Amino acid sequence: MIDFLDICERAETGPLMTEKDFEMKTFIPKLREVVKEYGVQYDSETPVPADDAAADRVYEASVDFLARVGVYCQDTNRVIQFTEQEIRDALASAPGECLTGEGKDASVFRVRQPDDERPARCHVNWGTIHSSQEMAVNIMATNVAHPEAKAISISSVTNTVRGMRVKAGSPLEMYAGIRCIRVARDACRRAGRPGLPLMNLVPAAAAAVTTIGASAAQFGARPTDGWIIGIISENKIDYGAMNKVAYLLNWGANVGCQGAPSLGGYCGGAPGTAVVNTAYFLLGIVAMRANYHLCFPIHFQHGCCSTRDVLWLVSTSSQAGSRNIPIPVIWLGYMAAGPNTKMYFYEAAAYLLAATTSGADAVKMPTPAKGVKIDASTPLETKFGIEMVKAASRLNRQQANELVIKLLEKYESRIPNAPEGDRYQDCFDVKTGKPGESYLRLYGEVKEELGAIGIPFE
Amino acid sequence: MQKNEILENLKSAVIEGDEDRARENAMAALQANMDPLEAMQMGLARGTDTVGERFEQGEAYLPELMMAGEAFKAAMEILNPEIKRLQKDVVDVGTVVISTVRGDLHSIGKNIVATVLETNGFHVVNLGVDKGALEIIEEAEKANADAIGLSALMATTMPGQKEVIDALIELNLRDKYRVVVGGGPVTQEWADEIGADGYGQDAVEAATMLTKLLAS
Smallest CA–CA distance, residue B2 to chain A, in Å, is 33
Which residues in chain A have Cβ-Cβ distances shorter than 8 Å to B103? 167-169, 206-207
Residue A32 maps to a domain: no
Same domain? B79 vs B100: no
Give the end of a domain, one of B33, B58, B85: B85
Task: DSSP for A351-362, please give it.
Answer: HHHHHHHTT-SE
Model confidence at A382, in pLDDT bands (50, 70, 90)? very high
Nearest CA-CA distance, residue B117 and chain A, Å: 16
**What is the rounded average pLDDT of the residues A330-359?**
98
**ipTM of the prediction:** 0.84
The reply to whether B114 and B176 lie within a common domain is yes
CA–CA gap between residue A121 and residue A112 (Å, rounded):
9
Whether B11 maps to a domain, the answer reads: yes
- A365: pLDDT confidence band, cut at 50, 70 and 90? very high
Examine the fold and report which residue of B32, B65, B85 is the final residue of a domain before the chain moves on. B85
The residue with greater pLDDT, A419 or A128, is: A419
Is B162 part of a structural domain of the chain? yes
The yes-or-no verdict on residue A88 having pLDDT over 70 is: yes
Q: Which domain holds residue B78?
A: 3-85
Q: What is d(CA A431, CA A192) in angstroms, rounded to the nearest whole number?
A: 20
Q: Are residues B75 and B100 in the same domain?
A: no
Cβ separation A167–B106 shorter than 8 A: no
Domain interval for residue A361: 97-265+292-306+321-453
| Residue A315 resides in a domain | no
Residue B184 has its nearest CB partner, among A264, A268, A372, at A372
- Domain identity same for B100 and B58: no
Say if A192 falls within a structural domain. Answer: yes
Across-strand partners of A257?
A: A229, A293
A99-126 average pLDDT score: 97
Q: Which pLDDT does position B107 carry in this prediction? A: 87
pLDDT at B90: 61
Q: Give residue A366's identity as a one-letter amino acid code.
A: P
Q: What is the CATH number of the domain that holds B167?
A: 3.40.50.280
pLDDT (tens digit per residue) in A177-229: 999 999 999 999 999 999 999 999 999 899 999 999 999 999 999 999 999 99
- The count of domains in chain B is 2
Q: In chain A, how many domains are there?
A: 1
- For residue B57, being part of any structural domain is answered with yes
Residues B174, B123, single domain; the answer is yes
- Per the domain annotation, does A70 fall within a domain? no
Q: Is residue A180 part of a domain?
A: yes
- According to the model, what pLDDT value does residue A198 have? 98
pLDDT of residue B88: 64
List, run by run, the mean pLDDT of 10-residue segments along chain B (216 residues): 93 95 96 92 91 87 90 92 76 88 90 83 92 97 96 92 97 96 91 94 80 83
Average pLDDT over residues A334-343: 98
Mapped onto helix, strand or coil, the DSSP state of residue A250 is helix
Looking at residue B113, its pLDDT comes to 87
Q: How far is B83 from chain A (nearest CA, A)?
A: 29
Percent pLDDT > 70 in chain A is 100
Confidence of residue A276 (pLDDT cuts 50, 70, 90): very high
Considering the domain boundaries, does residue A236 fall inside one? yes
* pLDDT tens, residue by residue, A58-79: 999 999 999 999 999 999 999 9
> Which tens digit of pLDDT belongs to each residue from A23-45?
999 999 999 999 999 999 999 99
**Residue A333 is part of a domain; what is its CATH number?**
3.20.20.460
Is residue B90, in this structure, part of any structural domain at all?
no
Give A85: exposed, middle or buried? Use CB within 10 Å, 0-12, 13-18, 19+.
exposed
Question: Are A24 and B185 an interchain contact pair (Cβ–Cβ within 8 Å)?
Answer: no
Q: What is the CATH number of the domain that holds B13?
A: 1.10.1240.10
Interface test with chain B among A372, A415, A420, by most B beta carbons within 10 Å: A372
pTM above 0.90, yes or no: yes
Residue of A19, A28, A129 to mutate, interface with B, max B Cβ within 10 Å: A28
Interface contact A370-B66, CB threshold 8 A: no
Q: What average pLDDT does the segment A332-356 reach?
A: 98
Q: How far apart are CA B13 and CA A456, in angstroms?
A: 53
Question: How confident is the model at residue A39, as a pLDDT?
Answer: 98
Asked if omega into A234 is within 30° of 0 (cis), the reply is yes
Query: In this structure, are residues A335 and A372 in contact, taking their beta carbons and an 8 Å threshold?
Result: no
A237 pLDDT exceeds 80? Answer: yes
Do B116 and B206 lie in one domain? The reply is yes
- Other C-beta atoms closer than 10 Å to the C-beta of A119 total 18
